[in-house]
Amino acid sequence: MKKIKLLICDDDRDNLDILEVLLEFEGFEVIKEIDSTKLIQKITAHTPDLLLVDIIMPIVSGEDIIRTIRNNANIKELPIIAFSAGYNIKETALDAGANYFAYKPFDVGEIKKMIVELVV
């Protein structure tokens, strides 16, 4: 069976690395991107099965990325899990078009359940 390919974007290197290790341990293939300005290009190049994206990032926010994806006919169906440590941001992420929202620190079991629901 083919591994589910995840693309993770977070401007915090530590969070990115932790999430990579946790999700690879769960059996997922993980691609990382720290620079939100390169994310759409990375999606096109790697065709992930699902995107996990931080909402609060400099230059291009996760909210803007989600809206861009949802308005792009080629990638608008990409499942998206948005995340943040901010507690007043969940509705913003969902209104932008995220399928699910997860809070930092991460509950890997919760994220895995979301991924399986969206992709399998």
Q: What is the CATH number of the domain that holds 56?
A: 3.40.50.2300
Distance CA 80, CA 60 (A): 16
Q: Domain range for residue 70?
A: 7-119
| 23 has pLDDT over 90 | yes
The tens digit of pLDDT for each residue in 37-66 reads 999 999 999 999 999 999 999 999 999 999
Query: Predicted confidence band at 2 (pLDDT cuts at 50, 70, 90)?
Result: confident
| CB-based contacts of 114, cutoff 8 Å, min separation 6 | 81, 99, 100, 102
Domains identified in the chain, total number: 1
Is 2 within the bounds of a domain?
A: no
pTM of the entire structure? 0.95
